[in-house]
A and B are shown apart, each in its own frame.
Chain A
Amino acid sequence: MTNRFNYPTDREAHNAARAKALQALLIEKGVITSSTVDTVLQVFETKMGPFNGAKVVARAWVDPAFKERLITDTTAAVAEVDGLPDVMTGAEGEHMRAVANGPGVHNLIICTLCSCYPWPVLGLPPYWYKDPTFRSRAAREPRAVLKEFGLDIPTSTEVKVWDSSAQIRWFVVPERPDGTDGLGEEELAALVTPESMMGVAVATAA
């Protein structure tokens, strides 16, 4: 027997030291600067993130014509939303496709080969999305996985699973929750979670 699954006791300390060592060497050798990593992280804190997707979904909830365009030409429709940063066709969002949940239809986005994710509208993928167990099981038994995540999809509801295998990046337009008639776009956007835009949750009224 090998000891393949014996992790060193200082696993994370060693990972942290190695990652920092690599970063230090790359700075010393002029590959990156001392602020490159922070520059990248800053983009995902301020420009690319689920705060954009939430605004897009809220717009779709209040404007049926926009929702129609969002489904038929996603990238162009996202670009017409006011107040979004100038990165909406940037990295991992050059070509996007939105699918809408509705009565009797539930969509789920997965990537069985890696972790493709629409950066401009959703930012970076959370660990559940990158988990090989999720990626394996969601392809064959999506309802069982969703139930583990707290979402019950009855067998009478059609499930559509979209495996992101080429260069198109996918997201879900969840259904507008009941009891939100009086809310404006900003209040509606606050109800849209990253999980609801990947199909492992639904949007609910606060």
Chain B
Amino acid sequence: MKLQHYLGGLEDLGPATFEKRVFVEEWEKGIFGIHTAMMALSPQLPLPATPSTFHTIWTWADLRKGAESLNPFDYFKFRYYEKWLGGISGYFIAHGYITEDELDAKTAEYLADPDKPLPAGGDPAIDQRVEQYLAQGDSPKSDAGPAPVFNKGDTIGVKDVPTIEHTRLPGYLRNHTGVVETVYPGNYGYLCDTGPDGAGPPMPVYCVGFDPQQLWPGNAETNFTIYADLYAVYVTEPDAVPAPVVKAA
């Protein structure tokens, strides 16, 4: 069990911060740009080849795996883009693009002289592919895979699938029951195979509504429903889970 999968519903965290800025430090723009370029240049995408030396897969799933594998104290300790900086630097070191020594040495140079310019150069085809990726996206939709087995209005149970390194099933829903609000047309794959968790190949996705009073009895606000989009592999018959069954409204 990882805290990062069970954030929904945690108590005693104090006030939330209504910070409307996207970036609170100038350097955060750089790591965001690098991450987006990595997604765009990742070799599994059906986009034109470029002279970029990037040759390993990087998707949102890889970024999320990094955040989900952090010590939970570190997850709260580091600001959003600090986590990105750590995860992405670690990826480039682990895959042999750069060494830790190189990164430390270069960091020392920029610490000593923050205004030292970046190196110049690079093939414009690389930036064109980045723009093309942003404009086209990477749709996970597919005609392959099974048909849905539940319909709008059906009560379903949520499995407690094993979690290895990554999931798209929020922890607070596991072993609870909810009511299908929408069966999305077509099937959806996920960015990677999540192993025993089960997401990855194309499958139906259900939008399911849950009663917060069942999720957190006597300890949630009233006159409110929480919905989540659930891959079919996470969903089962309502009597297959331990929680009391919620009837359709």
Residues of A at under 8 Å CB distance from B? 4-5, 7, 10, 12-41, 43, 47-48, 86-87, 89-95, 112-115, 119, 123-128, 130-145, 148-150, 155-168, 194-195, 200
Contact = CB atoms under 8 A, between A and B. Distances in A.
B111 A89 contact: no
Interface in B38-90: 39, 41, 51-54, 60, 64, 67, 73-77, 80, 82, 85, 88-89
Given A123-B22, A131-B17, A133-B13, A94 B107 contact: no
Contacts of A158: 223-225
Interface of B: 4-5, 7-11, 13-22, 24-34, 36-37, 39, 41, 51-54, 60, 64, 67, 73-77, 80, 82, 85, 88-89, 92, 97-98, 102-103, 106-111, 114, 118-124, 126-127, 130-131, 133-141, 167-170, 172, 184, 188, 190, 205, 207, 212, 215-216, 219-231
A95 to B, nearest CB: 7
Contact of A131 (B16, B226, B228): B16
A126 B172 CA distance: 24
Contacts, number: 323
Contact of B219 (A17, A112, A140, A142): A140
A157 B225 CA distance: 12
B122 A127 contact: no
Given A113-B167, A166-B230, 16 more contacts: A18-B85, A18-B103, A19-B30, A31-B41, A32-B34, A34-B118, A47-B135, A127-B21, A128-B16, A137-B13, A139-B9, A140-B216, A140-B219, A160-B225, A163-B226, A194-B20
B135 A87 contact: yes
Nearest to B106: A21
7 contacts: A22-B34, A30-B53, A36-B126, A95-B139, A140-B212, A157-B223, A167-B140
A20 B107 CA distance: 8
Contacts of A34: 118-122
Contacts of B167: 113
